[in-house]
Structure 1
Amino acid sequence: MQMTKPSVLVTGASSGIGAATASLLLDRGWRVFAAARRLEPMAALEAQGAELFQLDLSNADSRSDLAAQIANRVGALDALVNNAGFGEVGPLETMELERARAIFEVNVFGLMGLTQLLVPAMRQRGCGRIVNVSSIAGRWVTPGSGWYGASKFALEALSDALRLELKSFGLQVVIVEPGLIATNFGEIAFPSMQKALECNIYGKMMRNVRAGWERVYQGASSPLLVAQTIENALTKPKPAARYRCGHQSISVLASELLPTSIWDRLISAQML
C-alpha cells in the first residue's frame, strides 16, 4: 500500500531559499505546494512535481484564496514554511513610513495572516510543523537595515509566542535564522539603496554601509544550505526552537555575548 506523501506549503518559492527548499523537499518525497507572486519563475519546480499557487502575501484576498485551495486539496497541511519576505534599506530618519509599512505588511502581517488561516486545520488534526524563516537581521542590525531588521525581530517574537501557544495542540514552531545567503535580495533592495546613496545627509554613511555589505557578502552561502536546515527542522523528531545557518550566522552569538559598546564599535569599524 502506497503511503501518502507529507504535504508542505513553501512561500516565496520563485527563487533563492524558497526555490531551493521546494526542490529539495520534492526530492525527499514531499507533496510540495509552491507559492509566489509570479508563477513563471516556478516552472522548473512544476516540472519537478510541485503544485503552483500565486500568492501576494500583502493581499488578504490572495491569502484567503490560497488557504481555500490548500484546504480543498489536503485539508490540513503537514508543514508550512513561511519563507516569503522582502526588504528595503535606508536610514530610519529618511525612509518613508509607507515603505516601512510595506515591509511589515509582507514580513509580519502577511505571514501571520496566512498562518492564521492554515493553523486551524492543523490544530484540529493535532499535528504539524511551522518553520518561519527569519534572519540574523532578526537578532542584530546594521545601519541602514533598521526597518527590515525590525520586521525580523517581530517575526522572532511572534514565532516564540506561537511555539508556546500551539505546543499543547501537537504543533511545533521552529525559527530558521540564515546568515548571508547568495539570493536576489540585493537586486530587490537596489532601488532603495540608490535612493539612500543620493541622500545629502546619509549618503556617505550608506556608501560605507554598502561597501561593508559587499565585503561580507563575498562569502555568502548557497540557498541549498538553508534548504537543508529547513528540511532538518521539518523532519527531526524533536526540533530545536531555532536553527542558525550560513555565512556570518555565528555573529548572533557574538552580538549576544559582547557588551553593546564593544559590539557597536565592531559594526562601526566595518561599516561606518
Structure 2
Amino acid sequence: MSERIALVTGASAGIGFESALALRSAGFIVYAGARRVDRMEPLTAKGIHILSLDVTDDQSMVAAVTAVETARGRVDVLVNNAGYGSYGSLEEVPLAEGRRQFDVNVLGLARMTQLVIPRMREAGKGRIINVSSIGGKIFEPLGAWYHATKFAVEGMSDSLRLELKPHGIDVVVIEPSGTDTEWGTIAGEGLMMASGHGPYKEQAHVMAAALASTSGQILSTPPRVVAKAITRAATAKRPRTRYPVGRGAWSVLALRRVLPDRAFDAVLWNSYQRFIR
C-alpha cells in the first residue's frame, strides 16, 4: 500500500506542529503549512515538507493544495488546524476583527476543504479532520466571536459528514480542552487590549488570567496529546465522528449535556473565581 499524504494547516507551533510530527511517525508523507515558515524549519529534519500557507489568502491556499496534488497526485488527509482566539466584549471588539476571526477559523477551513474534495471524491476516499474545541459546545464571557466560530465549525462538520459520506470521505472533529500552547497567552493579551480598560474590565482581568493559565501550566494538555488523537482519527479504519481530548474535556462536555443553561452558567463562572484578585 502506498504511503498516505497528509496536509496540516497552522503547523508553525502547538497542535499543528506536533500533529505534523505524529503523522510522519505514523508513516504519512506530511506537508505542513503556515504563514511563519521559518518556525517550521525543524520539521524538515524529520522529512516533513513545509509550505507557505495563509488561510485568509485564496491564492496561497490554492497554491499550497496545487503543490501537494502536483507532487503526490492527491491529499488523503486534510487536518484543518489553523486558527486563533479573538476575545473581548461584543460591544468593544470591532466588526473587522470579528470578520477576521471567521475568515481564519471558519472560511479558511471551508476553503481548504473545498480545494481537496474534488480529488478525494474522484478517488472515492479521503479524510477531513477539523480541529474545533470544547469551545464549540460550551461558551465563556467575552468569547462571543471565538465561540461563534467554533460552533460554526461543529455545524459545518456535521453537515459535511453527511454530504460526503456517499463519496467515501470521512469528516472528523477534534475537540481539545485547554492546551499548553501560546494560544491562551495571545488570546488573553488580545482580550485586555479590547476590553481591559472599559466597562468590562473586571471580567476581562478574570478571563485573561484564565486564558493565560493554559500556557505553560502543568494542568494544561500538552499539544502532543491532541496530536495523538488527530493521528488516531487519521489512521482508524472507521474513525469516530468526534474526539474530545485533554484534561476535563469529557467531564465538561458531559456537564453541558445534562445541566440546564443557568446551572451551567453558574458552574462555569464559579470555575473562574480562583482568578479573581
- TM-score scaled by length of structure 1: 0.95
Regions of 4+ moved over 6 Å: none
CA distance in 2, matches of 1:83, 1:126: 24
Given that residues 196 and 202 in structure 1 are in contact (C-alpha distance below 8 angstroms), is that contact kept between their aligned partners in structure 2?
no
The aligned residue for residue 136 of structure 1 is: 134
Task: State yes or no: 1:22 paired with 2:23.
Answer: no
Q: Is the 8 A contact 1:89 1:145 kept in 2?
A: yes
The residue that corresponds to 2:233 in the other structure is 233
The separation in 2 between residues aligned to 1:263 and 1:187, in whole angstroms, is 25
- Take 2:52 and 2:85, find their aligned partners in 1: how far apart are those partners? 20
In the alignment, structure 1 residue 174 sits paired with structure 2 residue 172:
yes
2: distance between equivalents of 1:34 and 1:66?
10
> Residues 70-102 of structure 1: CA distance to partner in whole angstroms, max 9, x if unpaired?
220122211111111112211111111111110
CA-based RMSD of the aligned residues comes to 1.5
Residue 21 of structure 1: CA displacement? 0.6
Identity, in percent, stands at 38
| CA deviation after TM superposition for structure 1 residue 190, in Å | 4.3
Q: What letter corresponds to residue 90 of structure 2 in structure 1?
A: L
User: Structure 2 regions of 5+ residues with no counterpart?
Assistant: none
Paired letter, 1:259: P
Superposed displacement of residue 199, structure 1: 2.7
Alignment of 1:89-100 (within 5 A): 89-100=87-98
CA positional deviation for 1:123: 0.6
Residue 252 of structure 1: aligned partner: 253
Aligned to 1:223: 223
In 2: Cα distance, 1:33 partner to 1:93 partner: 40
SS, match of residue 93 in structure 1: coil
| 2:265 match | 264
Cα drift, residue 66 of structure 1: 1.0
Secondary structure class of the residue paired with 1:232: helix
Question: Is the 2:196–2:204 Cα contact (8 Å) retained in structure 1?
Answer: no
Q: Matched residue pairs, number?
A: 270
1:235 is displaced (CA, Å) by: 1.0
Deviation at 1:209, TM superposition (A): 2.0
How far apart in 2 are the matches of 1:90 and 1:248?
A: 24
Deviates more, 1:96-105 or 1:65-74: 65-74
Residue aligning to 2:65: 67
Q: 1:177 to 1:98 in 2, by over 3 A?
A: same
Conserved in 2, the CA contact under 8 Å of 1:175 and 1:242?
yes
CA distance in 1, matches of 2:223, 2:244: 13
1:236 shift after superposition: 1.0
